[in-house]
A and B are shown apart, each in its own frame.
Chain A
Amino acid sequence: MEELIRAVDLKKYFKLSKTEYLHAVDGVHFSIKKGQTLGVVGESGCGKSTLGRVLIGLIEATSGQIQYEGTDLLKLRPAQKKEYHKKMQIIFQDPYSSLNPRLSVFQLIAEPLISNKVYKTKGELVDRVGYLMEKVGLDQRFINAYPHEMDGGRRQRVGIARALALNPEFVVCDEPVSALDVSIQAQIINLLQDMQEEMGLSYMFITHDLSVVRHMSDEIMVMYLGQCVEKAPAYELFKNPMHPYTKALLAAIPQPVLGARGKKEIIRGEVSNPINPPKGCRFASRCQHCCDRCTQEDVMLKEVENAHEVACVLYK
């Protein structure tokens, strides 16, 4: 299958003061094939949203490469970049805060079409908005509704229609169902899968929900403090998790089955902060297997088994 996007040693540091840098994304590599989904999981603050925003140009990268079908986007002039960014869209977690409350559904969906001048007549615009609403399962009677008049599921459908308006090839889905109830969540997940199939979309699917990411993804990347600690095909990651952090994460999920009553094995401590992080494995302070080697030098991501990469000294 053809590759659509490749990130090489991608970094985003936020400067907090003269001496302090927050390493939000710290040397990440991955590629996404056409029509496939890369899932990104990890705890709050590990850099998932920053990564997604850097990728589609909403935040400037500090260093590294973003190759789109072989072209390094970070080297392009602004006008050229804009052409590429049309093909890359984003769906946000909270459709309420990401939609302008003063615009109606029609205006919200028409906006990207208007600002990119992709229609010739008013009639064409109306048709296109109607078509998009139908695609995402929004009844035409909502065409003049405002975001606050709709429930979370319908608002997210508007967010999806906006993202799909310009026929993108790649969509970052940043926690698109995290704010929704399970029954609505399932409706939106099915919609995203239908759209992917119909339009041949590639997704980066960001979430902290491991069962959702398993369901959606072809490949999964586990992030910890700005870095990728493990990457593997979805089924493989769940069958054979290797990194101590991935194992802890999987063990922590409360499963809705009998026999789960009672206390669990847990990892102690919390994610430390990503400001000027020390050398070595970022998970070391919480890891029960930590040894000298883990803190002396940085631990690189290595392919340990076919297509299964891990950054941990326990594997070579």
Chain B
Amino acid sequence: MEQTDKILEVEDLTVVYNTDAGTVHAVNGVSFSINKKETIGLVGETGAGKTTTALSIMQLLPERTGRITAGSVKYRGEELLTKSKAEMRLIRGECISMIFQDPMTALNPLMTVGEQIYESLDIHNERKKSPKELEARVDELLELVGIPARRKTNYPHEFSGGMKQRIVIAIALACEPLLLIADEPTTALDVTIQAQVLNLIEELKEKLSTSMIMITHDLGVVAQTCDKVAVMYAGEIVEYGTLEEVFDRSRPHHPYTIGLFDAIPSLTEERKRLKPIEGLMPDPANLPEGCHFHPRCHQCLEKCRSGAVYRYEEGTHIIKCNRMEKGVQDGRVD
């Protein structure tokens, strides 16, 4: 693969939050990379560390508590973690954009949507476009996300949830970023509106050749939008691969990935009882030793309770699980 094709490389990213209750180990050695036009899905349950990973890339962690303790984040080969605040602001304006889960918190209720899009264009107006040109661009962006330009004089509360999310997308795309980070962009929306928003994102990605990180807990959304998948648990990527590698159930998988697939009711199969993953997510201020998943794992071995976990690698498919080590036994579970 050509060097220039790599948009983002995250290497061994480690992030903690220092709180009164102790040190929260939110992200523990996460690595992945994204090529041009590629979409990677970060999938996992609440508290897995998905949002923290995204905020670290953007360097938008809460200043007082959040701290990146190790690792590297390279954007087109350039290290971001050593950049100054001013340099990062420029990168966030021109190269990397983020869509947050709740469109309401991302929009200012006191400004019209037109003003908000205009403002984000104006902040990064490197080419010194005239106000008239910027206004025209506002109209263009609104139409791009399927909202009539005449509605730019409306305030956020005058739009439905789906429309607000499309306005947030318009703002995120205002600078034509090379990388878009979408944190649960459709979780708050109804399925029919979710389908509209996902289609819109897909269309815009094609038009602008944008790469994307799609953060979600919904494996269905991953299947529809992603090229690569990283399954996160307790701040770690426990399984990583192409969509094909992670979703093909005849291949070996991490027990947590299997648990996630088994826990959702099927739309096509008859199943009298669901197979939940027993137990709860561990407390990130007090992670279990060894494999972080071991207290909930049906296949836990003695050696899973302490020490390093075996890393299986086959092509681009990575699984962190002791069951995958040769000689332990076939890692396939059905």
Contacts and interface: CB of A to CB of B under 8 A. Distances in A.
Interface of A: 43-44, 151, 153, 181-187, 189-190, 193, 208, 210-212, 214-215, 238, 248-249, 251-258, 260-264, 266-268, 270-271
A208 B191 CA distance: 8
Interface residues of B, number: 48
A252 B281 CA distance: 30
A258 B261 CA distance: 13
Contact of B265 (A189, A258, A260, A264): A189
Nearest to B146: A268
Given A181-B46, A214-B267, A249-B191, A190 B223 contact: no
Interface of B: 45-46, 160-163, 190-196, 198-199, 202-203, 217-226, 243-244, 247-248, 259-261, 263-267, 271, 273-278, 280-281
A214 B273 CA distance: 12
A262 B263 contact: no
Most A CB atoms within 10 A — which of B222, B247, B248, B274? B274
A215 B243 contact: no
Contacts, number: 126
Prevailing SS type, chain B contact patch: helix
Nearest to B280: A151
A210 B191 contact: yes
Contacts of A261: 223-226, 243
B224 A262 contact: yes
Contacts of A210: 191, 267
A262 B224 CA distance: 6
Contacts of B160: 270
A261 B224 CA distance: 4
A216 B225 CA distance: 28
A243 to B, nearest CB: 14
A254 B224 contact: yes
Contacts of A190: 273-274, 276
A252 B194 contact: yes
Nearest to B219: A256
B263 A186 contact: yes
Contacts of B222: 256
A249 B195 CA distance: 10
B254 to A, nearest CB: 14
Contacts of B266: 211, 215
A43 B190 contact: yes
Contacts of B220: 253-256, 260
B191 A253 contact: yes
Contacts of B226: 261
B276 A183 contact: yes
Most A CB atoms within 10 A — which of B218, B222, B223? B223
A186 B276 contact: yes
A24 to B, nearest CB: 17
A257 B223 contact: yes
A253 B280 CA distance: 27
Nearest to A154: B280
Given A43-B192, A253-B220, A257-B247, 6 more contacts: A211-B264, A215-B265, A253-B191, A253-B267, A260-B223, A270-B160
Contact of B198 (A186, A189, A264): A264
Most B CB atoms within 10 A — which of A43, A263, A264? A263
Please name the 9 residue pairs, one residue from A and one from B, whose CB atoms are nearest each other, closest first: A254-B220, A186-B276, A256-B219, A215-B265, A183-B277, A181-B45, A186-B274, A186-B263, A252-B195
